[in-house]
Structure 1
Amino acid sequence: MNKLLLFLTAAAALFSACGKDDPDPVDQLPPATQTGANTFGCLVNGKPWGPRGNISYPNYTVSYDVFPDGGLLEIATYRIYGSGTNDLQFLSLWTKQMNGPGTYSFLNTQTAIAGFADQRTNCDWRSRDSTTTYRRGQLTITRLDLQAGIVSGTFSFTLYKPGCDSIRVTDGRFDRKL
């Protein structure tokens, strides 16, 4: 009888574990806010990604410079994802001629650039690089408030170059005090 009870308990535990849905990876990202919350997150090939670790300079920086033809926004992030010296990934976004909220396509490499680099795989995808043969995506600025010192937005992009897998960045969001 004890063996039957043990078998039924194990089977019930197995079936209940199979019935649970995996958590949505988007739920693991910071919320898309516009308050200067100093957050950044996205999915990289379906997995949550955000700045992590420290290699002697901040792992998430945002700068905005004003020029006569519009501002220049640069977002730079990195994460350490292991213990090896090459376990480092970088994600960057850049746009110029920006005067306020709007959408900037990474197809127009004169005004917007997306990039991702993985030192472990030695792959470096840049939307402006001629070796990147496929580029799609956009950066949307949802708030640019210079008085309050806040810039917020969303982004997504897909880049491919021969010799490297595609990099798909989706559900990206950032909210930063300048």
Structure 2
Amino acid sequence: MLRKLPLHLALLLLTQCSKCKNDPRPADPVSQLPPVTQTGANTFGCLVNGQAYTPQGNNGTSNFAVLYEPGPTGANLNLLTYRITSNGRQYLNLSCGPVTQARTYSLSIPVTEGTAGYADTSRPRPCDSYESNQAPSYRKGTLTLTRLDLQARIIAGTFELTLAQPGCDTIRITQGRFDKKL
């Protein structure tokens, strides 16, 4: 029995060390996004073709801006974001108007209530830019304002979007959320 003790200890040590390896499963992309809130938390995030997109980096301007510009028939709303990565820069912008209340606005073509654009400098031309007014192109999506509180100066919502153009991969933007103090 004493002769087998070192063997058992060695096996026990090996089984414990095998748990020290990094978990090979990547983190769930949705878990890398900020939570959906309506408190003015200054957050933005979405999945772009299944990969987490959150604003990051600094080029001298804010990497997440919400412009709410009132007019006589409602406001123009613009969400502007960018992220700087080791591969390049990505830009995502959403616009709609006239905005008069918290509700769902169409981002689809033909342009009626809103527009959207996406650019990624790491992609080859002409597939590096999906501009909403570029022809021929495809755009379908919605932006839902879940809170538009001008007294508290909070605007929050969710969005989803599909962009495509001939000869290029389709860009699918899902699980979009934003929450901003104006």
The two structures share one fold, judged by TM-score above 0.5 = yes
CA drift at 1:165: 1.1
2:111 counterpart (83, 102, 109)? 109
Other structure's SS at 1:27 match: helix
Q: Does 1:32 align with 2:36?
A: yes
Q: Does 1:131 align with 2:133?
A: no
CA drift at 1:75: 0.5
- 1:80-99 maps to which residues of 2 (within 5 A)? 80-82=84-86, 87-99=88-100
State the Cα RMSD in Å. 2.6
Identity of aligned residues (%): 47
Does the CA contact (< 8 Å) of 1:93 and 1:115 recur in 2?
yes
Does the CA contact (< 8 Å) of 1:51 and 1:79 recur in 2?
yes
Large movers: runs of 4+ above 2 Å: 8-14, 21-24, 126-129
Q: Does 1:51 align with 2:52?
A: no
Relative to structure 1, the CA distance from residue 119 to residue 5 in structure 2 (aligned partners, 3 Å threshold; closer, same or farther) is same
TM-score, structure 2 normalization: 0.83
Relative to structure 1, the CA distance from residue 147 to residue 11 in structure 2 (aligned partners, 3 Å threshold; closer, same or farther) is closer
Other structure's SS at 1:66 match: strand
2:15 counterpart (9, 14, 24)? 9
Residue aligning to 1:120: 122
* Partners of 2:23 and 2:153 in 1: CA distance: 47
* Partners of 2:173 and 2:16 in 1: CA distance: 40
Residue aligning to 1:165: 169
The letter for the 2-side match of 1:109 is V
* Partners of 1:162 and 1:118 in 2: CA distance: 17
CA drift at 1:36: 0.5
TM-score, structure 1 normalization: 0.85
CA drift at 1:105: 1.3
Q: Which has the larger radius of gyration?
A: 2
- 1:135-146 maps to which residues of 2 (within 5 A)? 135-146=139-150
Residue aligning to 2:4: none
Relative to structure 1, the CA distance from residue 17 to residue 151 in structure 2 (aligned partners, 3 Å threshold; closer, same or farther) is closer
1:155 counterpart (149, 159, 164)? 159
* Partners of 1:76 and 1:17 in 2: CA distance: 35
Unaligned runs of 5+ in 2: 1-6
* Partners of 1:116 and 1:164 in 2: CA distance: 13
* Partners of 1:17 and 1:80 in 2: CA distance: 27
